[in-house]
Amino acid sequence: MTPTLGVPLTLNYYQLLNVPATASPEQIEQTYQDRGQQQPRPEFSAEVRQARQELLDQAYGVLHNPEERTAYDQTLLTTPPRLTLLNQQRVAGLLLLLEAGQVAIVLEDTPQINSLSDGPLVLALAHRDLAAELSQGNQIAAAVHEIQKAQTLLHSRYPTLERELADRLRALRPRWILILLDGKDTPRTPAEEKTVRHLALQQFTHILQEREGIEGAGQDGSRLSLDQFFQFIQELLPLLDAQEQQEIFANEATRPSVAASYLVSQVMIAQGVAKLQPELIRQARGYLIRLAQRRDVALELAVCALLLGQVEGAEQALKRSNDRDLLASIKSLSAGSEDLLPGLFRYTQEWITEQLFSQTRDLKTCSVTLHDYFANPVVQQSLEQLDQPVRLTESPPSENTVSTGATKPTPTTAPRSETRRGRRKFSLVAGLGLAATVGAALIWFMSSRIPQTTTAITPTLESVAPDEAAPVTVTPGRTNAPEPSLPPSSGMTANGATTPAAPTKPAVPITTLDRTSAEQVIRTWQAVKQQALGEDHDIKALARILDSTQRTIWQDRAQILAKTQSHWRYTLQDLSVRKFQSLSPERVLVTVQIQEKAQFYQKGQLKQSRSYEKTYTPTYQIERKNGTWLITGIAL
């Protein structure tokens, strides 16, 4: 038998009708009519519906009568509002408050109505509405907690509402997963950390299953587009351990998935170097061999061959690369050598330490260098064991279905004599101490290696339009023309105003570059770029601040924008030098933090979907050429 509840509820007629105490008679009349026409959710019983209407009638009966309203107002001045509502009346009263947005009052009354037939339904709706408020305030973990409370109250009695709650939870999952894995604001015991990570990885696996893979067409409820899902994965990677990444993406690669195959190859290479296990690198090469049927991964294959001590194989792989800018960079780094091995060594060191280690949670602080790797006796022994004819088709079992299309005619073995000769040559290279920092710009491999049908994954920047897909990654990095480029960096002044016209004098005639003068160079570049990518598409000043390679890239971008009647407009909120590294008297690396707002216009119309407001950290390589400091590389 349902207990009779007669506990006073602190509310008044104005709250029930949802009008202010100063409401006019006309407002009271209109609101009463509107509230009467509104119907609660169909899950509510007839008793609650009737009680709700009775309370509205009771409030209206007092407030629409001037004499009764005056007396009631006098009572409110001396006595707190207290209504004694019994059973379904109490549920109905709280339902009216909930409809008026008074979520906190409803949740305060939880113990009093939870035992009533429709009480849990009202409370579940209150938790749902509170979750929506928290989500809008970016309090994702708290919002998820409220939804889970609502789900617990329903006990499978209200399927429609339960589906709605499940959909809301699915929409929050990506951000919730990142919060669970990050955990920096929530102290946890080791046992709690293990449980939370298991939950987060389980939720990520469910998302992949529902989407039917990284590139799949399924719906996971998150409403993330393919581009946005790639961005989510890029944010996720640094929060995952190497083994976690390997297990997840190795499984996904069997769908098959180009993106997952590349991601698992990356983490295997990172682990192979960090843990001094060449066998992992050999397995990574298996994935890349399959990808070579569909993507240009010649550089990655060259890196694997190098790490396996197969120098001739590395050189052959480099020759198959279509990235001419990259090959030119490696050749530049190999200055004075008869082959590309010194440059490839430097490039590999930079990629592994600055990119692969940094995007893996447990390898971020790894200090293993290529010199350490090759000097290790265990590695040397492993390389000797692997020093046998190598089939280029070897790959892990999970990769058997990745390749599509006709098989390219490629050598199936690496002659034993060449492998040994290559290893002797590599020993000479390692002995030159080339593992030292060479100042190469950071290389965003994901932005140039994820499937061509999608926008690149980037952690901090919005992608530019397809018609602007000129390469931006620079020396000594990689440019891959078919891939979408990253958006331009700021072209605004520090106070947020539009950048002034670029200087017409030769760019920055400074003898020695320090932090202050380097910032001047970068600000000059931003002014020039604003002209090139702005409404006038003025490219004349590019030659005064960029070297020939960079100038060609940005001229192409400006011309494509002009042809499509598009341009960018920037507002710079902040720019500061974060790192200054002098590589030689003629060359420096400068990392700056830029906070900017960028607006994209096409045919004179602002495109909000393309515009963005971001903080990101590009690295500029600046060199002195013919007495002028020019930007020769930009890494985002």
The rounded distance, in Å, linking the Cα atoms of 298 and 317 is: 5
pLDDT given at position 233:
94
pLDDT given at position 616:
83
Residue reference for tokens 């587009």: 225
pLDDT given at position 237:
95
Lowest mean pLDDT among 192-196, 330-334, 578-582, 630-634: 330-334
- Decide if pLDDT at 514 tops 70: yes
Angle at 319 between CA 313 and CA 325, to 5 degrees: 130
The rounded distance, in Å, linking the Cα atoms of 303 and 355 is: 14
- Decide if pLDDT at 140 tops 80: yes
The rounded distance, in Å, linking the Cα atoms of 204 and 209 is: 9
Is 557 in contact with 485 (CB distance < 8 Å)? yes
With bands split at pLDDT 50, 70 and 90, how would you rate the model's confidence at 130? very high
Q: What is the mean pLDDT of residues 476-502?
A: 34
Is 617 in contact with 574 (CB distance < 8 Å)? no
Q: Are strands 566-584 and 587-602 parallel, antiparallel or unpaired?
A: antiparallel
- Percent of the chain's residues with pLDDT above 70: 77
Average pLDDT, the chain: 77
More confident residue, 29 or 495: 29
**Tens-place pLDDT, residues 403-461:** 333 333 232 222 222 333 333 233 222 222 222 222 222 222 223 333 333 223 222 22
pLDDT given at position 315:
87
Beta strand spans in 564-604 (E): 566-584, 587-602
Long-range contacts (CB closer than 8 Å, 24 or more residues apart) made by 55-61: 55/16, 55/85, 55/89, 55/92, 55/93, 55/96, 56/16, 56/17, 56/32, 56/96, 58/13, 58/16, 59/13, 59/14, 59/16, 59/17, 59/32, 60/17, 60/28, 60/32
Angle at 300 between CA 410 and CA 255, to 5 degrees: 80
pLDDT given at position 571:
83
pLDDT given at position 109:
66
- Report the SS3 class of residue 156: coil
Q: What is the DSSP letter of 608?
A: E
> With b meaning 16 or more CB within 10 Å and e meaning fewer, what string describes 341-376?
bbbbbbbbbbbbbbbbbbbbeebeebebbbbebbee
The rounded distance, in Å, linking the Cα atoms of 215 and 516 is: 45
For 539, list phi and psi in degrees, rounded to 5: -105, 5
pLDDT given at position 170:
92
pLDDT given at position 466:
28
Is 297 in contact with 351 (CB distance < 8 Å)? no
With bands split at pLDDT 50, 70 and 90, how would you rate the model's confidence at 187? confident
Q: Which helix (H) or strand (E) holds 242?
A: helix 242-253
- Percent of the chain's residues with pLDDT above 90: 36
Q: Tell me, what amino acid is at 108?
A: E
- Decide if pLDDT at 478 tops 60: no
With bands split at pLDDT 50, 70 and 90, how would you rate the model's confidence at 509? low
Q: What is the mean pLDDT of residues 126-137?
A: 91
> With b meaning 16 or more CB within 10 Å and e meaning fewer, what string describes 43-55?
bbeebbbebbeeb
pLDDT given at position 510:
64
Q: What is the mean pLDDT of residues 199-213?
A: 94
**Tens-place pLDDT, residues 230-254:** 999 999 999 999 999 999 999 999 9
Does residue 25 have a cis peptide bond before it, meaning omega lies within 30 degrees of 0?
A: no
- Decide if pLDDT at 556 tops 80: no
Is 221 in contact with 207 (CB distance < 8 Å)? no
**Tens-place pLDDT, residues 266-322:** 999 999 999 999 999 999 999 999 988 888 899 999 999 999 988 888 888 988 888
The rounded distance, in Å, linking the Cα atoms of 392 and 293 is: 12
The rounded distance, in Å, linking the Cα atoms of 374 and 434 is: 12
Secondary structure of 415-444 in HEC code, one letter for each residue: CHHHHHHHHHHHHHHHHCCCCCCCCCCCCC
With bands split at pLDDT 50, 70 and 90, how would you rate the model's confidence at 261? very high
pLDDT given at position 393:
36
CA dihedral 113, 115, 118, 123 (to 10 degrees): 50
The distance of Cα 231 from the centroid of its chain, to the nearest Å, equals 3
Query: Nearest to residue 90, comparing CAs of 31, 48, 56?
Result: 48
Alpha-carbon Rg for the chain, nearest whole angstrom, is: 32
**Tens-place pLDDT, residues 575-587:** 899 999 988 888 9
- Decide if pLDDT at 464 tops 50: no
Residue reference for tokens 């061999």: 289
Whether the pTM exceeds 0.75: the reply is no
Alpha helices in 39-87 (DSSP H): 46-63, 66-78
**Tens-place pLDDT, residues 6-51:** 455 667 888 888 899 999 999 999 999 998 888 899 999 999 999 8
Residues near 334 by beta carbon (within 8 Å), at least 6 away in sequence: 340, 341, 342, 343, 344
Query: Nearest to residue 598, comparing CAs of 579, 621, 615?
Result: 615
How many Cα atoms occupy the beta-carbon half-sphere of 483 within 13 Å? 25
Angle at 223 between CA 217 and CA 224, to 5 degrees: 75
**Tens-place pLDDT, residues 355-404:** 999 999 999 999 999 989 998 999 988 888 776 443 433 334 333 333 33
Would you say how long the chain is, in residues? Answer: 636
